[in-house]
């Protein structure tokens, strides 16, 4: 359900943001490895925004929205530009 809601509003250009989908039921080991490597709690469904091999934003369940993702990207872009 979260994936469908998210996909309906997805409007990012592929050269700006590349999405990857992990089917947790089929690939639980990969999901757990991602959680370990990025130091995030594993949840399902879950959205992770990864930049420079670091998770800079994560959301799960009803917190997964395109608007929240866009806000996070803008915030991180602005904070990176300040440095």
pLDDT in tens, 2-28: 888 888 888 888 878 888 889 888 999
Buried b (16+ CB within 10 A) or exposed e, 28-42: eeebeebbeeeeeee
pLDDT at 36 exceeding the cut of 90: yes
DSSP β-bridge partners for residue 46: 60
Place of tokens 């990864």: 50
Fold of 2-81: Glutaredoxin (3.40.30)
Rg (CA), the chain: 13
Q: Which residues contact 83 (CB under 8 A, 6 or more apart)?
A: none
* Model pTM score: 0.83
CA 45 to chain CA mean position, Å: 10
């Amino acid at each position: 359900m979260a994936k469908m809601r998210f996909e309906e509003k997805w409007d990012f250009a592929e050269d700006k943001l590349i999405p990857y989908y992990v089917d947790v039921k089929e690939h639980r080991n990969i999901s757990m490895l991602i959680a370990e490597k990025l130091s995030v709690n594993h949840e399902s469904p879950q959205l992770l925004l990864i930049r420079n091999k670091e998770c800079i934003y994560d959301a799960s369940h009803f917190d997964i929205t395109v608007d929240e993702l866009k806000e996070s990207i803008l915030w991180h872009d602005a904070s990176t530009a300040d440095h």
